[in-house]
Amino acid sequence: RDDIGWVYADFRGGAIQVVDHLIALGHRRIAHLTGRFTLPERDRLTGYRQALEAAGIRGDPNLIVAAGHLRHHGYAAMEKLLARGADFTAVFAVNDLTALGAMECLQRRGLRVPEDVSVAGFDDIYLAPYAAPPLTTLRLPAYEMGIAATEMAIAAVEDGSSFPAGREFPVEFCPRASTGAAASLMGTADVEGGQADIAG
């Protein structure tokens, strides 16, 4: 609706950035721990798929696992992904807590991050730079979005008019030590007709 002001982050574009980063590091089997399909989560999933498609990488539904937003959700989702037996060398999680839980699961299974599996999240929470290893993620401009929302509300009250048009904010990519060059430990990508296949 045009009469409702809104602020939003470019979740789709952010997901494209992080998946492009992983692809540039040589990853072709990139898993995604998605959320429960709110609009921001759907946008992250869309960006993930679009980045793979743009790179000519065939997506595999077995590499997408629904997860919650907390650390133990990420741990459980990673256990489920590993139980499927699908090969992957990188994981992009819906948020940082989910990513940290996934990382913990991998490490407890004896897999090194990023030497064996790269891990990336979304949000850049305060724990992200202090993880072991520090977590690659995307920073939301939460402060700027809050200011914009407040200004919209004040303007609407003072002017007695409808809210101004919405604003979408870019996210900032924060590469850290949890992502690295693709490993061959979990399998080698097949290439069919010039298209990499991430299916396990």
Distance of alpha carbon 92 from alpha carbon 108, whole angstroms: 19
- Establish if 117 belongs to a structural domain: yes
pLDDT at 123 over 50: yes
How many domains are contained in the chain?
A: 1
Which tens digits make up the pLDDT trace of 58-105? 999 999 999 999 999 999 999 999 999 999 999 999 999 999 999 999
- Establish if 133 belongs to a structural domain: yes
- Establish if 50 belongs to a structural domain: yes
- Establish if 118 belongs to a structural domain: yes
- Establish if 200 belongs to a structural domain: no
Secondary structure class of 5 (helix, strand, coil)? coil
Q: By residue range, what is the domain housing residue 18?
A: 10-140+177-184
- Establish if 196 belongs to a structural domain: no
| Whole-structure pTM value | 0.84
> What percent of the chain stands above pLDDT 70?
84
Strand 190-192 relative to strand 57-58: parallel, antiparallel, unpaired?
unpaired
- Establish if 90 belongs to a structural domain: yes
Which tens digits make up the pLDDT trace of 7-57? 789 999 999 999 999 999 999 999 999 987 799 999 999 999 999 999 999
Give pLDDT, residue 180.
Answer: 98
- Establish if 169 belongs to a structural domain: no
* CATH at 70: 3.40.50.2300
Asked if residue 180 lies in contact with residue 43, where contact means CB atoms within 8 angstroms, the answer is no
How far, CA to CA in Å, does 183 sit from each of 26, 27, 28, 88, 118?
9, 8, 10, 9, 9
